[in-house]
Chain A
Amino acid sequence: MYTVSSPSAGPAAGSLPRTGAQIIVDALLAHGVDTVFGYIGASVLPLFDRLYDAPIRFVVPCHEQGGCHMADAYARAGGKVGVIIATSGPGACNLVTGLATAMMDSIPLVAITGQVRTDLVGQDAFQEAPTTGITRAVTKHNSIVTDIKDLGRTIYEAFHIASTGRPGPVLIDVPADLEFQKCGGNGAIRVHLPGYKVPRNGHAKQIEEAAQAINRSERPVLLAGGGVITAGASQELRELAAKANLPVAMTLMGLGSFDQRRPESLDMPGMHGAPYANFAIQESDLLIAVGARFDDRVTGKVDTFATKAKIAHIDIDPSNISKTVRADIPIVGDARVVLAALAGCVEYRDRTQWFAQIAEWKRLYPVGYDRKAAGLKPQYVIEELYRRTDGNAVITTGVGQHQVWSGQFYKFRQPRQLITSGGLGTMGFGLPAAIGAQIARPEALVIDIDGDHSFNMTMAELSTAVQNELPVKVCILNNGYMGMVRQWQELFYRKRYAYSHLRNPDYAEFARAVGAAGLTVRSRDEVGPALEQMLRADKPCVVDFHVDATENVVPMVPAGKSLDEMEGLDVLQNAM
């Protein structure tokens, strides 16, 4: 659930004429915005001039992409709408990756971009780009404001659309001349969106049918996706699981919605998921998916996915239902409301045999690695980090092997504890995400578990952390490769490592150069002391772990195979 304080009428609404820049600032304040990420440029000068006096914390990244990821993680970690402002042309273009990342993971962002003056639009003016055209497919909604009378309402609508239903990024493009034009207040601002409907309750008959299916089921699996966290429905999920006696699997985006330390947790299914989660889904007679969209990384080959199961699918976005996996019991509604309603109609059912089977799979195929190896294993670093942080850190990640290992070896217990680019798979997300999360939750211990190549993409933002005195921690699992790509090349491209290796900088030296602390770890013995030093640091700290370069993520469902055709199970069995 995302909180937007219900907009108060702007301070000057209905009174003295205000400039467009002031209308924007007033609209932000009316929505309870206290933090904005952004980068200045010619077309947003009037707006920045007004923001300079506003009671708003302003965070300047090194690059607009970083700023957009910061605003995104600020929303993910804190449950508020993230706000990013960029200038026209290159500034707006640099937001695209960040908007697409937020779009795929349903994160509420309001992006405000400057545009060239109205009389120059369409003339290939300096720093002009067709921003709404470029970003249309990567935003939930976008528009260009052409009349100052529409400006305030458009921003109110942006907050409403971004934060309700299935959340997402909304972009408003504002030509520079509108920022200094004046407009008299015309009373209260009324949001008018005839085509925008937000489902809430779910169909009572469908909920009843799902409840009966749960009561009848001998081998059920509850699958929680990111929608459970978005809806603030973790408590309702836990109550339903307890009341009906259900095992719970979580997608990468859903991790934290259910406490992974519980025996009922099946952890994460999918391509690099836990074997017991995949086997349980394949053997289940009822799969109840909540706020999950059956991504190909979760289902494997769709034709052979959960063929023995009846599928109940709860989602707030009707287009997610029966998009890839045909739902037998579709329920369109808010996860929190629907889960609470379901919990009201289910009964406890003893499923000793089913849970014994799950326990047996867990015993046979625990998530593991070669713990006796002499070298420094990346998984060991995450296990140690988990132990030394008591499992309480907010973890952000880049994308690749380290991301999967974070999902496998850090046991999440609270929603909004894992901040990761699940859908788009955006390398470089980890560090700016850590910065955004730390701003949203100043008291939290925020750690970016990163890969060397992911870190390379946005490492300039370390100086943003230093400048803003944010004590984020970065653990780089440095194997010198784009590790996941290297793994696929090893397995599927005859070990031809085409362009997946780069010579990396000395990250500890780099960290010190920008004013952060930096450490280098080359052996297993150094891991504990280095982590302790990192956790004690009262400023940003980067630890560069030189890990085993050839370690692979196991187990694995090769692309296009069924969930139960997992490879690498022998590695897990030998690791015991």
Chain B
Amino acid sequence: MKHIISALVENKPGVLAHVAGMFAARGFNIDSLVVGRTEDPDLSRMTIVVIGDDRIVEQVRKQLARIVPVVKVQDFVGKPVVMRDLMLVSIAVLPEKRPEVFTLIEMFRGHVVDIGQKTIMVEVSGPETKIEAFIDVCRPYGIKSVARTGTIAMPRQGTGED
């Protein structure tokens, strides 16, 4: 099962290495790991997607909490959360095919951020399933390269767009 673990960590050198090293040393698999600043300059947030049974994820959570500069650990499984992934994708598109691809991009509420002679680069964000779906529909044209941020997440306080 996929778990999204959110860890608030002290913004100090070596913390990412410590977290990544712990995962490697204990044989836990990371699906994605995102680190970024928060509203507090002393703290960063790591969003880690882990696949494993409850027992493994419980150990992941406890081992993370044991790392001294890790301030708080939350597992979002079973809770309503907003999840987002950002992707830049370069698609092989000749000028005559542009209009139909633009239609697809609009359906996925993506943006064209670069147009070349034979390629276009698109920015798409959303839940992982939407990103995967966009890759699938673009595949017939030819995907040159993909860069993705990995998932970030935040618990919901009310309702809204999935």
A complexed with B: yes
Point out residues on A near B: beta carbons under 8 Å. Answer: 132-133, 136-137, 140-144, 146, 161, 193-196, 317-319, 321-323
Check B18 against A136 for contact (C-beta < 8 Å): yes
Residue of chain A at shortest CB distance from B64: A319
Residue of chain A at shortest CB distance from B59: A323
Q: Chain B contacts of A137 at CB under 8 A?
A: 21-22, 25
Residues 57-77 of chain B, each 1 if its beta carbon lies under 8 Å from chain A, else 0: 011001101111111100000
Check A195 against B55 for contact (C-beta < 8 Å): no
Residue of chain B at shortest CB distance from A326: B55
**How many Å from the CB of B14 to the closest CB on chain A?**
6
Q: Would you mind naming 14 contact pairs between A and B with Cβ atoms under 8 Å apart?
A: A133-B14, A137-B22, A137-B25, A140-B68, A161-B68, A194-B10, A195-B69, A195-B70, A196-B68, A318-B62, A318-B66, A319-B66, A321-B62, A322-B55
Q: Chain A contacts of B12 at CB under 8 A?
A: 143
Residue of chain B at shortest CB distance from A193: B68
B9 in contact (CB, < 8 A): yes
Residue of chain B at shortest CB distance from A157: B68
Q: Indicate which residue in B9, B14, B59 contacts A136 across the interface (CB closer than 8 Å).
A: B14
**How many Å from the CB of A302 to the closest CB on chain B?**
12
Q: Chain B contacts of A136 at CB under 8 A?
A: 14, 17-18, 21
Check B68 against A141 for contact (C-beta < 8 Å): yes
Q: Chain B contacts of A193 at CB under 8 A?
A: 68
A-facing residues in B4-34 (Cβ within 8 Å): 9-10, 12-14, 17-18, 21-22, 25
**How many Å from the CB of B4 to the closest CB on chain A?**
20
Given A136-B17, A317-B66, 18 new contacts (CB under 8 A): A133-B14, A136-B18, A137-B21, A141-B68, A146-B13, A194-B10, A194-B71, A195-B10, A195-B67, A195-B68, A195-B69, A195-B70, A195-B72, A318-B62, A318-B66, A319-B59, A319-B63, A322-B58
**How many Å from the CB of B139 to the closest CB on chain A?**
40
**How many Å from the CB of B87 to the closest CB on chain A?**
32
**How many Å from the CB of B54 to the closest CB on chain A?**
10
**How many Å from the CB of B39 to the closest CB on chain A?**
15
Q: Which 7 A-B pairs have the closest CB atoms?
A: A319-B62, A195-B71, A141-B68, A194-B71, A195-B70, A318-B62, A196-B68
- How many interface residues does chain B have, given as a range? 20 to 34
A-facing residues in B120-155 (Cβ within 8 Å): none
Check A318 against B65 for contact (C-beta < 8 Å): yes
Q: Chain B contacts of A317 at CB under 8 A?
A: 66
**How many Å from the CB of B47 to the closest CB on chain A?**
17
Q: How far is the CA of A321 from the CA of B63 in the complex (A)?
A: 11
Q: How far is the CA of A143 from the CA of B14 in the complex (A)?
A: 8
A-B CB pair tally, cutoff 8 Å:
45
Q: Chain B contacts of A143 at CB under 8 A?
A: 12, 14
Q: How far is the CA of A140 from the CA of B69 in the complex (A)?
A: 11
Residue of chain B at shortest CB distance from A170: B68
Residue of chain A at shortest CB distance from B72: A195
Q: How far is the CA of A196 from the CA of B12 in the complex (A)?
A: 15
Check A132 against B59 for contact (C-beta < 8 Å): no
**How many Å from the CB of B19 to the closest CB on chain A?**
10
Q: How far is the CA of A146 from the CA of B12 in the complex (A)?
A: 11
Check B14 against A132 for contact (C-beta < 8 Å): yes
Residue of chain B at shortest CB distance from A320: B62
**How many Å from the CB of B109 to the closest CB on chain A?**
38
Q: How far is the CA of A161 from the CA of B10 in the complex (A)?
A: 16
Q: Which of B10, B25, B68, B70 has the most A CB atoms < 10 Å from its CB?
A: B68
Q: How far is the CA of A136 from the CA of B66 in the complex (A)?
A: 13
Residue of chain B at shortest CB distance from A323: B59
Residue of chain A at shortest CB distance from B43: A194
Q: Chain B contacts of A319 at CB under 8 A?
A: 59, 62-63, 65-66
Q: Chain A contacts of B14 at CB under 8 A?
A: 132-133, 136, 142-144
Q: Chain B contacts of A322 at CB under 8 A?
A: 55, 58
**How many Å from the CB of B147 to the closest CB on chain A?**
27
Q: How far is the CA of A136 from the CA of B13 in the complex (A)?
A: 12
Q: Chain A contacts of B22 at CB under 8 A?
A: 137
**How many Å from the CB of B66 to the closest CB on chain A?**
5
Q: How far is the CA of A379 from the CA of B21 in the complex (A)?
A: 43
Q: How far is the CA of A194 from the CA of B65 in the complex (A)?
A: 12
Q: Which of A140, A195, A322 has the most B CB atoms < 10 Å from its CB?
A: A195
**How many Å from the CB of B74 to the closest CB on chain A?**
14
Q: How far is the CA of A195 from the CA of B62 in the complex (A)?
A: 13
Q: How far is the CA of A146 from the CA of B14 in the complex (A)?
A: 13
Q: How far is the CA of A141 from the CA of B66 in the complex (A)?
A: 10
Residue of chain A at shortest CB distance from B67: A195
Q: How far is the CA of A122 from the CA of B58 in the complex (A)?
A: 37
Q: How far is the CA of A136 from the CA of B16 in the complex (A)?
A: 11
Q: Chain A contacts of B71 at CB under 8 A?
A: 194-195
Q: Chain B contacts of A132 at CB under 8 A?
A: 14
Q: Chain B contacts of A196 at CB under 8 A?
A: 68
Q: How far is the CA of A133 from the CA of B66 in the complex (A)?
A: 18
Q: Chain B contacts of A140 at CB under 8 A?
A: 68
**How many Å from the CB of A320 to the closest CB on chain B?**
9
Q: How far is the CA of A518 from the CA of B67 in the complex (A)?
A: 47
Q: How far is the CA of A141 from the CA of B59 in the complex (A)?
A: 19
Given A136-B17, A319-B66, A322-B58, A195 and B9 touching (CB < 8 A)? yes
Q: Chain A contacts of B70 at CB under 8 A?
A: 195
Residue of chain B at shortest CB distance from A143: B14
Q: How far is the CA of A319 from the CA of B70 in the complex (A)?
A: 14
**How many Å from the CB of B18 to the closest CB on chain A?**
6
Q: How far is the CA of A161 from the CA of B66 in the complex (A)?
A: 11
Residue of chain A at shortest CB distance from B22: A137
Residue of chain B at shortest CB distance from A132: B14
Residue of chain A at shortest CB distance from B63: A319
**How many Å from the CB of A370 to the closest CB on chain B?**
43
Q: How far is the CA of A137 from the CA of B22 in the complex (A)?
A: 7
Q: Chain B contacts of A195 at CB under 8 A?
A: 9-10, 67-72
Q: How far is the CA of A321 from the CA of B58 in the complex (A)?
A: 10
Q: Chain A contacts of B9 at CB under 8 A?
A: 195
Residue of chain B at shortest CB distance from A141: B68
Given A319-B62, A319-B63, A133 and B17 touching (CB < 8 A)? yes
**How many Å from the CB of A67 to the closest CB on chain B?**
25
Q: How far is the CA of A318 from the CA of B59 in the complex (A)?
A: 9
Q: Chain B contacts of A141 at CB under 8 A?
A: 68
Q: How far is the CA of A361 from the CA of B21 in the complex (A)?
A: 46
Q: Chain B contacts of A318 at CB under 8 A?
A: 62, 65-66
Q: How far is the CA of A351 from the CA of B59 in the complex (A)?
A: 37
Q: Which of A143, A194, A196, A318 has the most B CB atoms < 10 Å from its CB?
A: A194
**How many Å from the CB of A94 to the closest CB on chain B?**
21
Q: How far is the CA of A321 from the CA of B59 in the complex (A)?
A: 9
Q: Which of A140, A319, A321 has the most B CB atoms < 10 Å from its CB?
A: A319
